[in-house]
Chain A
Amino acid sequence: MTALRTGVTALAVLLAIVLQAALLPHVGWRGVVPNLCLLVVVAGALTRGAHFGVVLGFCAGLALDLAPPADHLAGRWALALMAVGLVAGLVRRDERPTIPVVLVTAAVASFVGASVFGLLGVVTGDPGVAVTDVLLAVVAGVAGDLIVAPLVLLPLMVLLTRFEPQRRLA
């Protein structure tokens, strides 16, 4: 079960990376595309908690850092998506999340992820990054993520939940 779950999650991450690079630029706005990888991490963290979210975020981010055509410092998305996994995993967990909670979590996670990524760029002195650019990309990225979140996040959460080991209902 665990191996199957890991496999499905890895497959989702791989699919997200490929679609994000090859399909979405055709529908993106001014080059800003929805970050599918981030949504996969949010889905994983919401269904399985912060512990899983942190590890998944780090691994997915690392893959995003290394897959072509990425050329930024390796580790930036890893740290950003790790923060995303942590934030999404710490959402109120005393009851099942409602759809609005899921969407707000996705928006907050997208904001956190894009901000951490952008700010790491500013800190490491990436020459192309001005603070205004970061703000614009963050806002546009959050909007894009929110648009695709219902299409990606909800089915993914149902899928991942199927592989969750059954617990006794409270």
Chain B
Amino acid sequence: MALRTPLPPSLGDLGNRPSGRRTRPHWDRRRWPLAVSWGPGDAAERRPPRLLVVALVVAGLSLMTLDQVGGDDSPVDPVRSVVGEVVGPLEVAAGTVVRPLAAIPDFFTTRGSLRDDVAALEAENAALRDELATSDLDRSRLEQYDGLVAAARDQQGSIVPARVVAHGAAQTFTRTVTIDAGLTSGVRPDMTVVAAEGLVGRVIAATSTTATVLLIVDSDSTVGARVGRSSEVGFLSGNGSLTDPTRLDLELVDASAVPAEGDVVLTWGSAEGQGPYRAGVPIGTVTQLFSTPRDTTQRAIIDPFVDLSRLDVVGVYVPEGTASDRAVIGPDGEVR
């Protein structure tokens, strides 16, 4: 290792220094062993020039201003994607190394056969939940002829599978994760990300090998939602918390519409390629209702189907026939 290489003797007064740690004369065992001189005068010598501090503060503030004012076309975004191209693959590699290690506690707490049973039952449970969740919407739409066509199309979709490799820290107050599929897998910004149980979020940025996903619990996230039983539309926003009982606030457009507790909420969706969320993806169930006289709208608390604090395998809805460097799950359930 380069660090252990002896320093070349040409480096100044290095030769004057007694070599080796044990023989250093000024050694004080109670002190943290640092070889640097910490003599008086250092403080003044190493204090940063005021101009430098001011320049860096101004640079930081202007960067924030640029990013803020730029909005979606922020000039910082290209830099962000370049950094993402470098750091993304490293995060994927680290995530691959870490995943088996993170699973070690499971080996001790669960027997292998029980694990398999649980996995099979969970998959079955997710499938049944999904079926149940969409059946309310399907039933209400069957009453309208045109809804039949839309509902049929809801089942049609290609999904690129991906794994979550990195999580944003809670200190940053944004709820984002990195997944290990990017532009080369056909993932583009504004695509819908789902887990087996329901909606996870949407892609907000993609590099060639990774993509950043904004979770629906992020306080910036707004999802057009529809109550399955009544077809009432509203807007669903997150509260930024993954761990307090995860919850989403649903605000219905029609103040007279009252959803019932237990109603399933699905995405309202937008036309293919026009907006971020696909139609008819289950989000969660109504758990609490609020109606204040001051507000002109109904508020409901939604409990999402997906446990967003334990995301692992997710899927990204891609358009039919997207070129991808990995297996894509087709609308008929086949892998190609």
Task: Name A's B-contacting residues (CB within 8 A).
Answer: 1, 4, 14, 17-23, 25-26, 28, 30-33, 35, 47-55, 58, 61-63, 66-76, 78-79, 82, 86, 89-90, 93-99, 102, 114, 117-118, 120-121, 124, 126-129, 133, 137-138, 140-141, 154, 157-159, 161-162, 164-170
Contact = CB atoms under 8 A, between A and B. Distances in A.
Given A73-B67, A94-B40, A157 B34 contact: yes
Contacts of B61: 75, 79
B87 interface: yes
A103 B36 CA distance: 19
A76 B64 contact: yes
Given A73-B68, A79-B60, A97-B32, A55 B52 contact: yes
A41 B98 CA distance: 25
A96 B32 contact: yes
How many chain B residues sit at the interface, stated as a range, is: 35 or more
Given A114-B171, A124-B68, A161-B34, A52 B39 contact: no
Interface of B: 2-3, 11-14, 16-17, 26, 28, 30-40, 42-43, 45-49, 52-53, 56-57, 59-64, 66-68, 74, 76, 79-80, 83-84, 87-88, 90-91, 94-95, 98, 101-102, 165-174, 176-178, 204-205, 207, 210, 212-214, 218-220, 240, 242-243, 309
B84 A67 contact: yes
Contacts of B91: 18, 21-22, 68
A23 to B, nearest CB: 5
Contacts of A17: 87
B60 A67 contact: no
Contacts of A71: 168, 172, 174, 176, 204-205, 212, 214, 220
